[in-house]
Amino acid sequence: MTTHDQRVAVITGAGSPHGIGFAAARLLGAGGSRVVITSTTDRIFERVAELRAAGVRAEGVVADLTGQAGVDAVLARASDSFGGVDVLVNNAGMTAVSDSSASGAVGGASLDHWHASLDRNLTTAYLMTRAVTGPMRAAGYGRIVNVSSVSGPVAAYPGDVAYHAAKAGVVGLTRATAIDTAAAGITVNAVAPGWIDTASASDHERRMGAATPVGRSGTADEVAYAIAFLAGEGASYITGQLITVDGANTISEERGR
């Protein structure tokens, strides 16, 4: 396993016990990182307790990362507790939850829906990235891993145009930031999960996972291993890249067999 001995990692969107963010925090912590995890609810402290019980040095922050105040609170905790940030995993964000897929389609999505989805899925990553790149430049080292999706950058499903646009934007943010920071010892990459069986996965999503070439949905841990690799010191010559974690689903030419 890639080691992250004594590095400080901030992982956003880590409140769910079965989600990608918490899986990444567990794996980075097991590799030696000190971790700061965030979510928008108090359940983040349950995740902190689990990490500490496993021997990981961990802190948690309840924060709304769509605004600068929340970002500042997270970085202050990382600085006060561990001295700074070496690794940032931008995982915060989610698709819209709606009773009607048409409500998020290009002809039905409200402007409020559009802005809310972009703020939740793209602005959070931008604000956190903007906040850490200065200190990382000064240190001459940094790893930023953005959690995008196959939805937007390489594929799409009906009914949520804003989510797809935001996740495609995450890849653009990744590549542009990678170019801006490459000479400073900072790498910036993204992972694109496909059908992943988390607690929020619907029965439809699990059926889609079963239809992939691998024959099942992926797990949060499988995405976390890709994140941990990109966050490691050995990934120093990989930057601006998108790693797809989808069981070969998006490269399969034959469908419905």
Q: What is the pLDDT of residues 146-186, one digit of tens each?
A: 999 999 999 999 999 999 999 999 999 999 999 999 999 99
pLDDT in tens, 37-48: 999 999 999 999
pLDDT value for 106? 85
**CATH of residue 118:** 3.40.50.720
- pLDDT exceeds cutoff 50 at 100: no
18 domain-assigned: yes
127 domain-assigned: yes
Task: Work out how many domains the chain is built from and give that number.
Answer: 1
- Using 50, 70 and 90 to split pLDDT, how confident is the model at 108? confident
- Using 50, 70 and 90 to split pLDDT, how confident is the model at 1? very low
Range of the domain at 226: 8-245
pLDDT value for 4? 66
- pLDDT exceeds cutoff 70 at 89: yes
pLDDT value for 245? 98
40 domain-assigned: yes
Cα 29–209–156 angle (5° rounding)? 95
For the chain, how big is the Rg over CA atoms in Å?
17
Mean pLDDT of 95-111: 67
Give buried/exposed letters for 88-126 (b at 16+ CB in 10 A, else e).
Answer: bbbbbbebbeeeeeeebeeeebeeebbeebbbbbbbbbb
145 domain-assigned: yes
Among candidates 170, 79, 82, 184, which has minimal Cα distance to 129?
A: 170
Among candidates 125, 136, 255, 115, which has minimal Cα distance to 187?
A: 136
- pLDDT exceeds cutoff 50 at 98: no
Mean pLDDT of 49-58: 98
Write down the mean pLDDT value for the chain: 94
How far is C-alpha 97 from the chain's CA centre? 19
203 domain-assigned: yes
- The tokens for 76 are 């202050």
> 163 an active-site residue?
yes
- Cα(70)–Cα(97) distance, rounded to whole angstroms? 23
Cα 139–28–235 angle (5° rounding)? 55
Name which of 22-26, 102-106, 217-221 the model is least confident about.
102-106
Collapsing DSSP states into helix, strand and coil, what is residue 35?
strand
Catalytic residue among 157, 163, 225, 237: 163
pLDDT value for 247? 97
- The tokens for 166 are 């935001």
- pLDDT exceeds cutoff 60 at 197: yes
15 domain-assigned: yes
250 domain-assigned: no
Distance between the two ends of the chain, CA-based, in angstroms?
Answer: 37
239 domain-assigned: yes
